[in-house]
């Protein structure tokens, strides 16, 4: 797994590549925590190169969303492939997290 970070104004864009699973989740959690500790309150997770997500990866996303909520921060997710989208649908995460088909749609009104 690899995380590539950039910014679009006050929005931190994190592109996650590879698999977000039991092995890579702690590293992803640490990096996302670091970004939030440094003041990032608007996170856009770009999954265009994410091949697979496990329940450990979903737990990371839920933890980040819960941490951002009290400070009126927000996390949005975009560009899910069919495999990742199916995991989101089956787990119900597509209804509890802000999921968008593309970067441009996710950035709109952020």
Q: Which of 49, 64, 65, 57 is nearest to 22 (CA)?
A: 57
| Full-model pTM | 0.95
pLDDT tens figures, 44-80: 999 999 999 999 999 999 999 999 999 899 999 999 9
Give the pLDDT confidence score for residue 30 in this predicted structure: 98
Please state which CATH class domain 2-104 belongs to.
alpha beta
Q: What is the mean pLDDT of the chain?
A: 96
pLDDT confidence of residue 71: 87
């Amino acid at each position: 797994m690899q995380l590539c970070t950039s910014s679009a104004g006050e929005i931190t864009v994190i592109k996650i590549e590879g698999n977000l699973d039991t092995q890579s989740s702690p590293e992803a959690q640490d990096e996302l925590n670091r970004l939030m500790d440094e003041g990032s309150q608007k996170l856009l997770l770009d999954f265009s190169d994410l091949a697979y997500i496990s329940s450990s990866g979903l737990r990371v996303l839920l933890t980040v969303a819960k941490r951002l909520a009290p400070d009126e921060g927000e996390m949005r997710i975009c560009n899910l492939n069919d495999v990742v989208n199916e995991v989101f649908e089956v787990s119900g995460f597509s209804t509890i997290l802000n999921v968008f088909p593309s970067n441009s749609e996710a950035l709109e009104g952020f």
